[in-house]
Structure 1
Amino acid sequence: MDRRTARLLNGVLALCCLALVFAAVYPFTTVDPHSKNPVDERFTVPESDEYRASGAIVADSETALEFEGAVTADGGRYLFIDEGAVQTEQYQASPGDPVYSRIIVADDGSTDRRRDQIQSDTDRELLRESRTDDAVTFIVKQDATDLADEVSGAASVVVRSLYLVAYEREAETAQAATVYKPKNGWYEGSETYHVTGATGQVRTVGDTTDVRSATVTWGLTKSAGTYAELALVRLTGDAPKTYDLSFEFESGETTVSRPSWVTDDRTEA
């Protein structure tokens, strides 16, 4: 073998070694999350004059957000939101009527601040306050707004949380629904993150992006732009963090009952 051929082979071997090093350190490709789709191609909450919706975001078995809401054609609105330390239940007989809220706060030292916030708001009136060993309950009356906007807003928070990963559309779907499956991979956001164990599905109405239901799970490791960083984060922390997202939307006739705590009484509950 002459020297020229030997040098050429050595150069090829060096390039191969360099490629192997990069393969061991950097991912070959990254995936764009659903949030980078054009606006009209992103998942959204369906529009309806009458519906029920529910959903939850759970991180490592701890509920970050859970909601249940209803909007009726004759005006009744209801919304329940659980944020862990705070639970808020709201009722409105019709869009022109006051909104009544029952706010249950874990007695963690923040109840005085929350009471001050309620009393300093000229649009809200604190009707009653009661205390148990581990929580404080506020009953609040608020000037008329349309609670339907709050129901839709809570639903949007859950649906937009689906944007964190990309989805693959199933080839064969029924005409009544389109099914999407979440994808594993390396993602580029404000920082690179790694998604594993992605399972479940998102079902949309017909061929639209209106989400009818979703049940998805994935593991997320943040600040993992390279395989070395991924290994380091997992060795030194609790990564990956497991996320479970669920959502249900049912349009059509529904009813809302007036809760027993909805009164203008100002005595302690």
Structure 2
Amino acid sequence: MDRRTARVLNGVLALCCLTLIVAAVYPFTTASPHSANPSDSRFTVPESDEYRTTGAIVVDGETAFGFEGAVAADGGRYQFVDEGDVRTEQYQASADSPVYSRIVVEDDGRIAHRRQQIQSDTDHELLRENRSEGTVTFIVKGGAEDIADDVAGTASVVVRSLYVTGYERTASEQSGTVVYEPKDGWYEGAEPYRVTAATGEVRTASNTTAVRSATVTWDQTIPAGTYAEFAMVRLTSDAPRSYDLAFEFDPGETTVQEPAWVPDTGTES
């Protein structure tokens, strides 16, 4: 073997070794999260004059965010939001009626701040405050602004949380429903991250991105730009974090009942 041939072979061998090293450190491909789609191609909350909707975000087995909402054709609106230490219910008899809220605060460090927020807002009136075993409940009367958009906005918190992963369209059913499944992968974000153990499905109405239902879970490790970083983060932290998202949207005839905690409107000015 002459010297020139040997140099060429050594160069090829070195290139192969470098390729193997890079493959062991960097993923060959990265995936695009759903958030990278054009705005008109991202999942959205359906639009309807009358509906009931629920959703939840569970992180490592604990509910980080949960909600229930309803909008009725006769104007009734209801919303419940669970943020852990703070739970808020809202009721509105019609689109131009006062909004009544029940706010339950379990964190002592947030009670005074929440009270100050309510009392400093000239559009709200603190009707009642009750304390029981470290929990304070505020009953508040607000203005007559339609909260239908607020219900849809709350629902969008869960729908937009689906954007973390990418999805593959897997089926179109006879009913017109389109089914998407989440994908594992290495994703680019403010920090690179890796999604593993992604399962579940998102169902949208035919030819739209409006989500009718979703039940999706995944594990997320961040940061994870390389295999080495991925392994190190898992060894030195409680990563991965487990996410479990659920969402339901039921359009159609809906009734909203007045909750028992709402004051007698005949005695409230």
TM-score by length of structure 2 reads 0.96
Deviation, structure 1 residue 117: 0.9
Deviation, structure 1 residue 9: 0.9
Structure 1 residues 149-228: aligned runs within 5 Å: 149-228=149-228
Deviation, structure 1 residue 250: 0.3
| Cα separation, partners in 2 of 1:61 and 1:264, compared to 1, 3 Å | same
| Structure 1 SS opposite 2:109 | coil
- Asked if structure 1 preserves the Cα contact closer than 8 Å seen for 2:179 and 2:201, the reply is yes
Unmatched 5+ stretches in structure 2: none
Name 1:4's counterpart in structure 2.
4
Deviation, structure 1 residue 171: 4.4
The one-character-per-residue Cα deviations of 1:124-173 (angstroms, maximum 9, x if unpaired) are 00000001113100000001111111110011110000011100001453
Name 1:65's counterpart in structure 2.
65
Quick one: which amino acid aligns to residue 228 of structure 1? A
Structure 2: distance between partners of 1:107 and 1:163: 30
- The question of 1:103 aligning with 2:103 is answered yes
Deviation, structure 1 residue 43: 0.4
Structure 2: distance between partners of 1:259 and 1:175: 36
- The question of 1:262 aligning with 2:269 is answered no
- Asked if structure 2 preserves the Cα contact closer than 8 Å seen for 1:95 and 1:145, the reply is yes
Quick one: which amino acid aligns to residue 134 of structure 1? G
Structure 1: distance between partners of 2:67 and 2:113: 24
| Structure 2 SS opposite 1:242 | strand
Unmatched 5+ stretches in structure 1: none
Structure 1: distance between partners of 2:185 and 2:262: 49
Name 1:242's counterpart in structure 2.
242
| Cα separation, partners in 2 of 1:251 and 1:19, compared to 1, 3 Å | same
Structure 2: distance between partners of 1:223 and 1:169: 27
Structure 2: distance between partners of 1:45 and 1:171: 20
Name 1:75's counterpart in structure 2.
75
| Superposed CA RMSD | 1.3
| Structure 2 SS opposite 1:109 | helix
Structure 2: distance between partners of 1:161 and 1:112: 31
Structure 1: distance between partners of 2:70 and 2:87: 17
| Structure 2 SS opposite 1:48 | coil
Structure 1: distance between partners of 2:227 and 2:173: 36
Q: Percent identity?
A: 69
Deviation, structure 1 residue 264: 5.4
Structure 2: distance between partners of 1:216 and 1:60: 14
Deviation, structure 1 residue 174: 3.1
The one-character-per-residue Cα deviations of 1:150-206 (angstroms, maximum 9, x if unpaired) are 110011110000011100001453342000000000001111100000000000011
- Asked if structure 1 preserves the Cα contact closer than 8 Å seen for 2:171 and 2:178, the reply is no
Structure 1: distance between partners of 2:219 and 2:207: 28
- The question of 1:253 aligning with 2:241 is answered no
- Asked if structure 1 preserves the Cα contact closer than 8 Å seen for 2:170 and 2:180, the reply is yes
- Higher mean alpha-carbon deviation, 90-99 vs 103-112, is at 103-112
| Cα separation, partners in 2 of 1:116 and 1:172, compared to 1, 3 Å | closer
Structure 2: distance between partners of 1:145 and 1:161: 27
Structure 2: distance between partners of 1:110 and 1:142: 21
Structure 1: distance between partners of 2:236 and 2:211: 37
Structure 1 residues 110-121: aligned runs within 5 Å: 110-121=110-121
- Asked if structure 1 preserves the Cα contact closer than 8 Å seen for 2:171 and 2:180, the reply is no
Deviation, structure 1 residue 6: 1.2
Deviation, structure 1 residue 108: 2.2
Structure 1: distance between partners of 2:27 and 2:205: 35
- Asked if structure 2 preserves the Cα contact closer than 8 Å seen for 1:127 and 1:264, the reply is no
Name 1:22's counterpart in structure 2.
22
- Asked if structure 2 preserves the Cα contact closer than 8 Å seen for 1:224 and 1:233, the reply is yes
